[in-house]
Structure 1
Amino acid sequence: MRKLINQLLKFGLVGGIAFLIDYGLLFICTEWFGIYYFISSIISFSVSVIFNYIASVLWVFDVDQEKSKTKNFIIFIALSIVGLGINQIIMYYGVEVLNLYYMLIKLIATFIVMIFNFITRKMFLE
């Protein structure tokens, strides 16, 4: 139980930093560079995934060393693509259908994808 709590704390810290990268880049790409929010969201999510991969494999999860690093990376990327899909569906629905501010919807999308990420990475990477 102690190991799980420690892992959750590390996951939270890494996730918090990844969130700041994602949220900050979304805002910068959209507001400063005039990129459509939906494209900005893909860019920001992708950059945060790269950070998250490195930090998760090196520090958060006890990655199965018997699996090749290539296989672990492919699993991580596949799960991240699903997470991106979830993120984009929520972003589109929240902004285009509900007419809510994209930065508010990003908070909701991030929370949902964070839960998905922890569960699936724990299942498939350890």
Structure 2
Amino acid sequence: MRKALAQPHTKQFLKFAVVGLISFGIDWGMLIALVELFHLDFLMSTTVSFITSVVVNYWLSMKYVFDHREGMSRKREFTIFTILSVIGLGLNDLYMFVGVTFLSIGYQAMKAIATFLVTWYNYFSRRFFLEGARS
């Protein structure tokens, strides 16, 4: 019985992971391009690449991962997604700043670490606020 209850969440998380990998590819690619090709600051580049990937992530997440919540307008849904993403951006930038500046971790390695950490926040916060934490 317990296994049957876990399957929908496992399937949803796997879809979330695929969408996340696509978004991460965009985020990572832009970060590297902005730093290496355009010689922008790593923190500015992190912010720009993260925001771009969030737009793609929203579209893919709402199309393939999360169900539209009855009684919630798309405008409200996007607003919630955006607010949660801004918090995720803050966490991402904080991890990047601390990791690169204080811990002397390379920005590419720190981006992978930051993404891993922010992924958990993103999944559970979006599931709770966008779907209403349905079981």
| TM-score normalised over the length of structure 2 | 0.91
| Structure 1: runs of 5+ lacking an equivalent | none
The equivalent position to 1:92 in structure 2, one of 89, 97, 101, is 97
Q: Does 1:48 align with 2:48?
A: no
1:97-116, Cα deviation, whole Å (9 max, x unpaired): 11110011001100011000
1:48-83, Cα deviation, whole Å (9 max, x unpaired): 000000011111011203101000000000000000
- Give the corresponding residue for 1:83: 88
The equivalent position to 1:66 in structure 2, one of 71, 74, 81, is 71
Query: Which structure's CA Rg is the greater one?
Result: 2
For 2:120 and 2:103, how far apart are their aligned partners in 1? 23
Shift of 1:47: 0.5
For 2:13 and 2:105, how far apart are their aligned partners in 1? 31
| Structure 2: runs of 5+ lacking an equivalent | 1-5
Aligned length, in residue pairs: 126
The two structures, once aligned, show a CA RMSD in angstroms of: 0.7
- Give the corresponding residue for 1:39: 44
Q: AA paired with 2:36?
A: E
Moved over 4 A (4+): none
- Give the corresponding residue for 2:22: 17
The equivalent position to 1:101 in structure 2, one of 102, 106, 125, is 106
For 2:18 and 2:70, how far apart are their aligned partners in 1? 23
Q: Percent identity?
A: 40
